[in-house]
Structure 1
Amino acid sequence: MNKRSNLVYDYNNLLDWKSIDLSTNNLTGEIPQNIVVLTGLLNLNLSHNQLTGKIPFEIGNMTSLESLDLHMNNLSGTIPQSISALNYLEVLNLSYNNLSGSIPSGRQLQSLNDPSIFSGNPNLCGPPQENGCERSGNLPKDDDNNYSNPKLAGERDNWLFLFIEFGFVVGFLVVFFILLFQRNWRYTYFKMVDSGFDRLYVLAALATKRMREQRT
Protein backbone atom coordinates (compact mmCIF):
# COMPACT_ATOMS: atom_id res chain seq x y z
CA MET A 1 0.00 0.00 0.00
CA ASN A 2 1.48 3.31 -1.06
CA LYS A 3 1.00 6.81 0.32
CA ARG A 4 -1.21 9.39 -1.42
CA SER A 5 -3.65 6.73 -2.52
CA ASN A 6 -7.30 6.24 -1.66
CA LEU A 7 -8.16 2.57 -1.98
CA VAL A 8 -10.70 0.26 -0.39
CA TYR A 9 -9.80 -3.34 0.44
CA ASP A 10 -11.62 -6.12 2.19
CA TYR A 11 -10.00 -8.63 4.57
CA ASN A 12 -9.11 -11.11 1.83
CA ASN A 13 -7.25 -8.42 -0.09
CA LEU A 14 -5.20 -7.56 3.01
CA LEU A 15 -3.68 -11.02 3.04
CA ASP A 16 -2.37 -10.42 -0.49
CA TRP A 17 -0.52 -7.21 0.32
CA LYS A 18 3.22 -7.26 -0.26
CA SER A 19 4.15 -3.78 0.93
CA ILE A 20 2.81 -1.20 3.42
CA ASP A 21 4.43 2.24 3.53
CA LEU A 22 2.75 4.67 5.93
CA SER A 23 5.87 6.59 6.89
CA THR A 24 5.73 10.32 7.70
CA ASN A 25 1.97 10.43 8.17
CA ASN A 26 1.66 11.74 11.75
CA LEU A 27 0.10 8.44 12.82
CA THR A 28 -0.63 8.05 16.54
CA GLY A 29 -1.66 5.20 18.80
CA GLU A 30 -0.29 1.67 18.90
CA ILE A 31 0.64 -0.70 16.10
CA PRO A 32 -2.36 -3.05 15.71
CA GLN A 33 -1.55 -6.44 17.19
CA ASN A 34 -3.42 -8.24 14.41
CA ILE A 35 -1.05 -6.86 11.78
CA VAL A 36 0.93 -10.07 12.32
CA VAL A 37 -1.66 -12.00 10.27
CA LEU A 38 -0.18 -10.42 7.11
CA THR A 39 2.21 -13.30 6.67
CA GLY A 40 2.80 -12.54 2.99
CA LEU A 41 3.99 -8.97 3.62
CA LEU A 42 7.51 -8.24 2.37
CA ASN A 43 7.89 -4.61 3.40
CA LEU A 44 6.51 -2.71 6.41
CA ASN A 45 7.46 0.95 6.86
CA LEU A 46 5.83 2.91 9.69
CA SER A 47 8.74 5.25 10.34
CA HIS A 48 8.58 8.98 11.14
CA ASN A 49 5.24 8.87 12.94
CA GLN A 50 4.15 9.21 16.56
CA LEU A 51 3.33 5.60 17.27
CA THR A 52 3.40 4.47 20.90
CA GLY A 53 3.10 1.18 22.76
CA LYS A 54 5.03 -1.99 22.08
CA ILE A 55 6.15 -3.78 18.95
CA PRO A 56 3.59 -6.60 18.38
CA PHE A 57 4.76 -9.57 20.44
CA GLU A 58 4.12 -12.09 17.63
CA ILE A 59 5.80 -10.08 14.87
CA GLY A 60 7.84 -13.18 14.15
CA ASN A 61 4.72 -14.64 12.51
CA MET A 62 5.29 -12.27 9.56
CA THR A 63 7.80 -14.73 8.22
CA SER A 64 8.03 -13.20 4.73
CA LEU A 65 9.24 -9.78 5.90
CA GLU A 66 12.35 -8.58 4.12
CA SER A 67 12.24 -4.98 5.35
CA LEU A 68 10.97 -3.61 8.68
CA ASP A 69 11.33 0.10 9.40
CA LEU A 70 9.87 1.51 12.63
CA HIS A 71 12.41 4.22 13.39
CA MET A 72 11.56 7.73 14.63
CA ASN A 73 8.49 6.83 16.70
CA ASN A 74 7.76 6.61 20.44
CA LEU A 75 7.65 2.84 20.74
CA SER A 76 8.53 1.44 24.15
CA GLY A 77 9.08 -1.89 25.88
CA THR A 78 11.39 -4.65 24.74
CA ILE A 79 12.06 -5.95 21.27
CA PRO A 80 10.08 -9.21 20.98
CA GLN A 81 12.25 -12.31 20.85
CA SER A 82 10.05 -13.58 18.02
CA ILE A 83 11.69 -11.06 15.69
CA SER A 84 14.60 -13.49 15.43
CA ALA A 85 12.27 -15.80 13.45
CA LEU A 86 12.28 -13.38 10.47
CA ASN A 87 14.72 -15.41 8.40
CA TYR A 88 14.36 -13.28 5.25
CA LEU A 89 14.88 -9.93 6.95
CA GLU A 90 17.45 -7.84 5.09
CA VAL A 91 16.57 -4.32 6.25
CA LEU A 92 15.79 -3.45 9.87
CA ASN A 93 15.58 -0.03 11.50
CA LEU A 94 14.32 0.42 15.06
CA SER A 95 16.36 3.52 15.89
CA TYR A 96 15.14 6.53 17.84
CA ASN A 97 12.37 5.06 19.91
CA ASN A 98 12.15 4.32 23.64
CA LEU A 99 12.92 0.61 23.45
CA SER A 100 14.64 -1.11 26.36
CA GLY A 101 16.05 -4.46 27.48
CA SER A 102 18.29 -6.84 25.59
CA ILE A 103 18.47 -7.06 21.82
CA PRO A 104 17.26 -10.50 20.64
CA SER A 105 19.78 -12.79 19.03
CA GLY A 106 19.31 -14.93 15.95
CA ARG A 107 21.11 -16.03 12.81
CA GLN A 108 19.46 -13.45 10.58
CA LEU A 109 19.72 -10.65 13.15
CA GLN A 110 23.41 -11.35 13.62
CA SER A 111 23.92 -10.83 9.90
CA LEU A 112 22.52 -7.30 10.34
CA ASN A 113 25.53 -6.29 12.42
CA ASP A 114 24.92 -2.54 12.29
CA PRO A 115 24.64 -0.62 15.60
CA SER A 116 22.75 2.22 13.88
CA ILE A 117 19.75 -0.14 13.59
CA PHE A 118 19.20 0.30 17.34
CA SER A 119 20.72 3.75 17.96
CA GLY A 120 18.69 6.36 19.82
CA ASN A 121 17.43 3.75 22.32
CA PRO A 122 19.75 4.31 25.31
CA ASN A 123 18.13 1.55 27.38
CA LEU A 124 18.84 -1.20 24.85
CA CYS A 125 21.77 -3.46 25.57
CA GLY A 126 23.66 -6.36 24.06
CA PRO A 127 25.26 -6.90 20.64
CA PRO A 128 25.66 -5.05 18.36
CA GLN A 129 25.44 -2.27 20.98
CA GLU A 130 28.59 -1.54 22.96
CA ASN A 131 26.90 -1.71 26.36
CA GLY A 132 26.44 -5.21 27.69
CA CYS A 133 23.28 -6.14 29.57
CA GLU A 134 25.13 -7.41 32.65
CA ARG A 135 27.16 -4.22 32.97
CA SER A 136 24.28 -1.83 32.42
CA GLY A 137 21.67 -3.85 34.30
CA ASN A 138 19.21 -3.46 31.41
CA LEU A 139 17.94 -7.00 31.54
CA PRO A 140 14.71 -7.59 29.65
CA LYS A 141 11.46 -7.73 31.58
CA ASP A 142 8.95 -8.47 28.84
CA ASP A 143 6.62 -11.41 28.37
CA ASP A 144 9.60 -13.75 27.87
CA ASN A 145 10.97 -12.92 31.31
CA ASN A 146 9.84 -14.59 34.53
CA TYR A 147 9.64 -11.24 36.30
CA SER A 148 6.52 -10.31 34.36
CA ASN A 149 4.98 -13.78 34.46
CA PRO A 150 1.57 -13.28 36.16
CA LYS A 151 1.60 -16.80 37.62
CA LEU A 152 5.00 -16.38 39.25
CA ALA A 153 4.10 -12.89 40.45
CA GLY A 154 0.96 -14.29 42.04
CA GLU A 155 2.96 -17.03 43.78
CA ARG A 156 5.39 -14.46 45.19
CA ASP A 157 2.47 -12.37 46.49
CA ASN A 158 0.91 -15.43 48.13
CA TRP A 159 4.17 -16.23 49.94
CA LEU A 160 4.49 -12.61 51.05
CA PHE A 161 0.99 -12.58 52.54
CA LEU A 162 1.65 -15.94 54.19
CA PHE A 163 4.79 -14.65 55.91
CA ILE A 164 2.97 -11.48 57.03
CA GLU A 165 0.11 -13.51 58.52
CA PHE A 166 2.56 -15.92 60.18
CA GLY A 167 4.47 -13.03 61.73
CA PHE A 168 1.26 -11.48 63.04
CA VAL A 169 0.12 -14.75 64.64
CA VAL A 170 3.52 -15.40 66.23
CA GLY A 171 3.67 -11.85 67.58
CA PHE A 172 0.17 -12.13 69.04
CA LEU A 173 0.92 -15.47 70.72
CA VAL A 174 4.16 -14.16 72.22
CA VAL A 175 2.36 -11.20 73.80
CA PHE A 176 -0.53 -13.44 74.93
CA PHE A 177 1.70 -15.97 76.72
CA ILE A 178 3.83 -13.26 78.30
CA LEU A 179 0.74 -11.64 79.77
CA LEU A 180 -0.63 -15.04 80.78
CA PHE A 181 2.42 -16.16 82.79
CA GLN A 182 3.98 -12.84 83.86
CA ARG A 183 1.72 -11.34 86.49
CA ASN A 184 3.67 -8.10 86.82
CA TRP A 185 3.67 -7.54 83.06
CA ARG A 186 -0.06 -8.34 82.91
CA TYR A 187 -0.77 -5.82 85.65
CA THR A 188 1.34 -3.14 83.93
CA TYR A 189 -0.28 -3.81 80.54
CA PHE A 190 -3.88 -3.53 81.74
CA LYS A 191 -3.01 -0.50 83.83
CA MET A 192 -1.62 1.16 80.71
CA VAL A 193 -4.76 0.23 78.74
CA ASP A 194 -7.02 1.64 81.46
CA SER A 195 -4.96 4.81 81.58
CA GLY A 196 -5.25 5.17 77.80
CA PHE A 197 -9.04 4.79 77.92
CA ASP A 198 -9.22 7.36 80.72
CA ARG A 199 -7.26 9.87 78.65
CA LEU A 200 -9.49 9.29 75.65
CA TYR A 201 -12.59 9.77 77.81
CA VAL A 202 -11.25 13.06 79.18
CA LEU A 203 -10.33 14.33 75.73
CA ALA A 204 -13.76 13.39 74.36
CA ALA A 205 -15.49 15.12 77.28
CA LEU A 206 -13.45 18.29 76.81
CA ALA A 207 -14.16 18.30 73.06
CA THR A 208 -17.88 17.89 73.69
CA LYS A 209 -17.87 20.71 76.24
CA ARG A 210 -16.09 23.05 73.81
CA MET A 211 -18.58 22.28 71.04
CA ARG A 212 -21.50 23.06 73.37
CA GLU A 213 -19.88 26.33 74.44
CA GLN A 214 -19.33 27.36 70.82
CA ARG A 215 -22.98 26.72 70.01
CA THR A 216 -24.17 28.87 72.89
Structure 2
Amino acid sequence: MATINSSNQKNAIYYFVTRGNIVFEDASVVTKGLLVEYNSILNLVRSIDISKNNFSGEIPMQLTNLEGLQTLNLSHNFFVGKIPEKIGNMRSIESLDFSTNRLFGRIPQSMSSLSFLNHLNLSENDLSGQIPSSTQLQSFGASCFSGNDLCGAPLPDCTEKNTFAPEVPNGNGNEDEDADEVDWLLYASMTLGFVVGLWCFIGPLLVNRRWRYKYGYFLDGFVDRFCYFVRKCY
Protein backbone atom coordinates (compact mmCIF):
# COMPACT_ATOMS: atom_id res chain seq x y z
CA MET A 1 0.00 0.00 0.00
CA ALA A 2 2.96 2.31 0.43
CA THR A 3 4.07 1.88 -3.19
CA ILE A 4 2.15 2.81 -6.30
CA ASN A 5 1.71 0.07 -8.96
CA SER A 6 2.86 -2.67 -6.61
CA SER A 7 1.30 -5.98 -7.61
CA ASN A 8 3.87 -8.24 -5.99
CA GLN A 9 1.85 -11.29 -5.03
CA LYS A 10 4.16 -12.04 -2.11
CA ASN A 11 2.85 -8.89 -0.45
CA ALA A 12 -0.79 -9.48 -1.40
CA ILE A 13 -3.43 -10.54 1.12
CA TYR A 14 -5.57 -13.44 -0.02
CA TYR A 15 -8.98 -14.76 0.99
CA PHE A 16 -9.55 -18.37 -0.03
CA VAL A 17 -12.77 -20.28 -0.57
CA THR A 18 -12.54 -23.99 -1.32
CA ARG A 19 -14.84 -25.35 -3.99
CA GLY A 20 -14.02 -28.99 -4.63
CA ASN A 21 -10.37 -29.26 -5.61
CA ILE A 22 -10.10 -25.67 -6.86
CA VAL A 23 -9.06 -22.71 -4.69
CA PHE A 24 -10.51 -19.36 -5.62
CA GLU A 25 -9.42 -15.91 -4.47
CA ASP A 26 -12.61 -14.29 -3.21
CA ALA A 27 -13.60 -11.33 -0.98
CA SER A 28 -16.33 -8.69 -0.65
CA VAL A 29 -15.05 -5.15 -0.19
CA VAL A 30 -16.99 -1.94 0.45
CA THR A 31 -15.56 0.71 -1.84
CA LYS A 32 -16.99 3.95 -3.21
CA GLY A 33 -20.06 3.41 -1.06
CA LEU A 34 -20.85 0.07 -2.70
CA LEU A 35 -20.29 -3.56 -1.80
CA VAL A 36 -18.07 -5.06 -4.49
CA GLU A 37 -16.98 -8.70 -4.78
CA TYR A 38 -13.46 -9.34 -6.03
CA ASN A 39 -11.97 -12.67 -7.11
CA SER A 40 -9.39 -12.74 -9.87
CA ILE A 41 -7.95 -9.26 -9.19
CA LEU A 42 -8.11 -9.22 -5.40
CA ASN A 43 -4.34 -8.97 -5.19
CA LEU A 44 -4.57 -5.57 -6.93
CA VAL A 45 -7.01 -4.15 -4.40
CA ARG A 46 -5.56 -1.77 -1.80
CA SER A 47 -8.23 -1.08 0.80
CA ILE A 48 -8.51 -0.21 4.51
CA ASP A 49 -11.97 -0.37 6.08
CA ILE A 50 -12.25 -0.01 9.85
CA SER A 51 -15.67 1.64 9.83
CA LYS A 52 -18.34 1.19 12.53
CA ASN A 53 -15.97 0.51 15.41
CA ASN A 54 -14.98 2.41 18.53
CA PHE A 55 -11.64 3.78 17.35
CA SER A 56 -10.76 7.14 18.86
CA GLY A 57 -7.92 9.64 18.90
CA GLU A 58 -6.42 11.47 15.96
CA ILE A 59 -5.94 10.02 12.49
CA PRO A 60 -2.27 8.90 12.34
CA MET A 61 -0.10 11.09 10.14
CA GLN A 62 1.74 7.95 8.95
CA LEU A 63 -1.43 6.98 7.10
CA THR A 64 -0.63 9.58 4.45
CA ASN A 65 2.49 7.58 3.49
CA LEU A 66 0.29 4.93 1.87
CA GLU A 67 0.63 6.28 -1.67
CA GLY A 68 -0.76 3.09 -3.18
CA LEU A 69 -3.93 2.96 -1.04
CA GLN A 70 -7.11 3.12 -3.11
CA THR A 71 -9.92 2.97 -0.53
CA LEU A 72 -9.93 4.35 3.03
CA ASN A 73 -13.02 4.10 5.21
CA LEU A 74 -12.81 5.40 8.79
CA SER A 75 -16.50 6.29 9.12
CA HIS A 76 -18.69 5.80 12.20
CA ASN A 77 -15.92 5.96 14.77
CA PHE A 78 -14.79 8.55 17.31
CA PHE A 79 -11.78 10.05 15.55
CA VAL A 80 -11.00 13.60 16.64
CA GLY A 81 -8.56 16.28 15.55
CA LYS A 82 -7.90 17.56 12.07
CA ILE A 83 -7.68 15.80 8.75
CA PRO A 84 -3.94 15.24 8.11
CA GLU A 85 -2.46 18.11 6.12
CA LYS A 86 -0.45 15.73 3.92
CA ILE A 87 -3.46 13.71 2.82
CA GLY A 88 -2.70 14.92 -0.71
CA ASN A 89 0.27 12.49 -0.70
CA MET A 90 -2.19 9.59 -1.06
CA ARG A 91 -2.14 9.98 -4.82
CA SER A 92 -3.91 6.70 -5.62
CA ILE A 93 -6.89 7.18 -3.34
CA GLU A 94 -10.22 6.72 -5.11
CA SER A 95 -12.65 6.44 -2.21
CA LEU A 96 -12.38 8.39 1.06
CA ASP A 97 -14.94 8.19 3.86
CA PHE A 98 -14.41 10.08 7.14
CA SER A 99 -18.10 10.57 7.89
CA THR A 100 -19.70 10.45 11.36
CA ASN A 101 -16.64 11.19 13.45
CA ARG A 102 -15.59 14.19 15.50
CA LEU A 103 -13.07 15.76 13.16
CA PHE A 104 -12.74 19.53 13.27
CA GLY A 105 -10.81 22.30 11.56
CA ARG A 106 -10.50 23.04 7.87
CA ILE A 107 -10.34 20.67 4.95
CA PRO A 108 -6.65 20.55 3.93
CA GLN A 109 -5.85 22.30 0.67
CA SER A 110 -3.80 19.29 -0.40
CA MET A 111 -7.01 17.25 -0.71
CA SER A 112 -7.76 19.16 -3.90
CA SER A 113 -4.79 17.40 -5.57
CA LEU A 114 -6.34 13.91 -5.23
CA SER A 115 -6.99 13.55 -8.94
CA PHE A 116 -8.28 9.94 -8.75
CA LEU A 117 -10.78 10.65 -5.97
CA ASN A 118 -14.31 9.86 -7.15
CA HIS A 119 -16.05 9.09 -3.85
CA LEU A 120 -15.87 11.39 -0.81
CA ASN A 121 -17.89 11.58 2.38
CA LEU A 122 -16.96 14.07 5.12
CA SER A 123 -20.46 14.49 6.51
CA GLU A 124 -21.43 14.62 10.19
CA ASN A 125 -18.23 16.05 11.66
CA ASP A 126 -17.30 19.44 13.09
CA LEU A 127 -15.33 20.68 10.10
CA SER A 128 -15.43 24.39 9.35
CA GLY A 129 -14.15 26.91 6.85
CA GLN A 130 -14.17 27.03 3.08
CA ILE A 131 -14.08 23.94 0.94
CA PRO A 132 -10.83 24.12 -1.09
CA SER A 133 -11.41 25.22 -4.66
CA SER A 134 -10.72 22.51 -7.20
CA THR A 135 -12.58 20.80 -9.98
CA GLN A 136 -12.31 17.55 -8.05
CA LEU A 137 -13.91 18.61 -4.76
CA GLN A 138 -16.56 20.82 -6.35
CA SER A 139 -17.77 17.82 -8.38
CA PHE A 140 -19.21 16.14 -5.26
CA GLY A 141 -22.73 16.74 -4.00
CA ALA A 142 -23.61 18.88 -0.99
CA SER A 143 -24.52 15.76 1.01
CA CYS A 144 -20.83 14.80 1.09
CA PHE A 145 -20.15 17.86 3.28
CA SER A 146 -23.40 18.10 5.27
CA GLY A 147 -23.47 18.18 9.06
CA ASN A 148 -20.47 20.54 9.26
CA ASP A 149 -19.94 24.29 9.32
CA LEU A 150 -18.50 24.44 5.82
CA CYS A 151 -19.19 26.82 2.98
CA GLY A 152 -18.25 27.28 -0.63
CA ALA A 153 -19.28 25.20 -3.63
CA PRO A 154 -21.16 22.91 -3.64
CA LEU A 155 -22.52 24.48 -0.43
CA PRO A 156 -23.73 28.10 -0.10
CA ASP A 157 -21.17 30.80 -0.74
CA CYS A 158 -19.03 31.87 2.20
CA THR A 159 -20.02 35.53 1.91
CA GLU A 160 -23.67 34.53 2.34
CA LYS A 161 -22.92 32.57 5.50
CA ASN A 162 -20.48 35.27 6.66
CA THR A 163 -18.18 32.44 7.76
CA PHE A 164 -14.98 34.19 6.83
CA ALA A 165 -15.74 37.74 7.83
CA PRO A 166 -12.99 39.36 9.92
CA GLU A 167 -13.18 38.39 13.52
CA VAL A 168 -15.02 41.38 14.93
CA PRO A 169 -17.77 41.46 17.51
CA ASN A 170 -21.11 40.45 16.03
CA GLY A 171 -24.05 42.78 15.64
CA ASN A 172 -25.45 42.00 19.07
CA GLY A 173 -22.11 42.74 20.67
CA ASN A 174 -21.91 46.12 18.95
CA GLU A 175 -25.45 46.92 19.99
CA ASP A 176 -24.69 45.99 23.58
CA GLU A 177 -21.56 48.14 23.56
CA ASP A 178 -23.49 51.08 22.09
CA ALA A 179 -26.23 50.62 24.69
CA ASP A 180 -23.68 50.53 27.49
CA GLU A 181 -22.05 53.69 26.18
CA VAL A 182 -25.42 55.47 25.91
CA ASP A 183 -26.36 54.42 29.46
CA TRP A 184 -23.04 55.65 30.81
CA LEU A 185 -23.42 59.02 29.09
CA LEU A 186 -27.01 59.32 30.30
CA TYR A 187 -26.10 58.65 33.91
CA ALA A 188 -23.12 61.00 33.76
CA SER A 189 -25.16 63.82 32.25
CA MET A 190 -27.98 63.33 34.78
CA THR A 191 -25.53 63.48 37.67
CA LEU A 192 -23.79 66.53 36.28
CA GLY A 193 -27.10 68.26 35.59
CA PHE A 194 -28.34 67.56 39.09
CA VAL A 195 -25.19 68.90 40.71
CA VAL A 196 -25.07 72.00 38.50
CA GLY A 197 -28.78 72.69 38.92
CA LEU A 198 -28.65 72.20 42.67
CA TRP A 199 -25.73 74.57 43.12
CA CYS A 200 -27.21 77.13 40.76
CA PHE A 201 -30.20 77.27 43.10
CA ILE A 202 -28.60 76.62 46.48
CA GLY A 203 -25.41 78.59 45.84
CA PRO A 204 -27.00 82.06 45.62
CA LEU A 205 -29.13 81.37 48.72
CA LEU A 206 -26.02 80.50 50.71
CA VAL A 207 -24.18 83.60 49.55
CA ASN A 208 -26.96 86.21 49.68
CA ARG A 209 -28.91 86.56 52.96
CA ARG A 210 -31.58 88.78 51.41
CA TRP A 211 -32.44 86.11 48.88
CA ARG A 212 -32.72 83.55 51.66
CA TYR A 213 -35.27 85.68 53.48
CA LYS A 214 -37.30 86.29 50.33
CA TYR A 215 -37.27 82.60 49.51
CA GLY A 216 -38.41 81.79 53.06
CA TYR A 217 -41.28 84.29 52.82
CA PHE A 218 -42.27 82.84 49.48
CA LEU A 219 -42.41 79.32 50.91
CA ASP A 220 -44.47 80.46 53.93
CA GLY A 221 -46.96 82.23 51.67
CA PHE A 222 -47.18 79.27 49.36
CA VAL A 223 -47.82 76.84 52.21
CA ASP A 224 -50.54 79.11 53.65
CA ARG A 225 -52.29 79.45 50.29
CA PHE A 226 -52.08 75.71 49.72
CA CYS A 227 -53.57 74.90 53.13
CA TYR A 228 -56.36 77.44 52.61
CA PHE A 229 -57.18 75.90 49.24
CA VAL A 230 -57.30 72.38 50.73
CA ARG A 231 -59.60 73.43 53.57
CA LYS A 232 -61.88 75.24 51.13
CA CYS A 233 -62.16 72.17 48.91
CA TYR A 234 -63.12 69.88 51.82
Contact 1:24 1:48 survives alignment (8 Å): yes
Q: 1:134 aligns with which of 148, 156, 159?
A: 159
Deviation (angstroms), 1:140 = 9.8
Cα distance in 2 for residues equivalent to 1:67 and 1:133: 27
Q: How does 1:40-119 map to 2 (within 5 A)?
A: 40-112=68-140, 114-119=141-146
Q: 2:151 aligns with which of 116, 125, 139?
A: 125
Other structure's SS at 1:84 match = helix
Other structure's SS at 1:75 match = strand
Paired amino acid for 1:28: S
Other structure's SS at 2:143 match = helix
Bigger radius of gyration, 1 or 2?
Answer: 2
Other structure's SS at 1:83 match = helix
| Structure 1 or 2: more strand by fraction | 2
Paired amino acid for 1:128: P
Q: How does 1:128-167 map to 2 (within 5 A)?
A: 128-130=154-156, 132-139=157-164
When normalised by structure 1's length, the TM-score is 0.55
Contact 1:100 1:140 survives alignment (8 Å): no
Deviation (angstroms), 1:109 = 1.6
Cα distance in 2 for residues equivalent to 1:104 and 1:129: 12
Extract unaligned runs of 5+ from structure 1: 2-11, 142-146, 148-216
Other structure's SS at 1:51 match = strand
Deviation (angstroms), 1:110 = 2.4
Q: How does 1:180-199 map to 2 (within 5 A)?
A: none
Other structure's SS at 2:102 match = coil
Cα distance in 1 for residues equivalent to 2:101 and 2:77: 5
Paired amino acid for 1:42: Q
CA RMSD after TM alignment: 2.6
Paired amino acid for 1:47: S
Other structure's SS at 2:88 match = helix
1:165-198 deviations in whole A, cap 9, x for unaligned? xxxxxxxxxxxxxxxxxxxxxxxxxxxxxxxxxx
Cα distance in 2 for residues equivalent to 1:44 and 1:37: 13
| Structure 1 or 2: more helix by fraction | 1
The number of aligned residues is 128
Other structure's SS at 2:110 match = helix
Q: Does 1:19 align with 2:10?
A: no
Distance 1:40 1:140, change over 3 A: farther
Cα distance in 2 for residues equivalent to 1:88 and 1:140: 33
Extract unaligned runs of 5+ from structure 2: 2-10, 13-43, 168-234
What residue number does 1:31 align with? 59
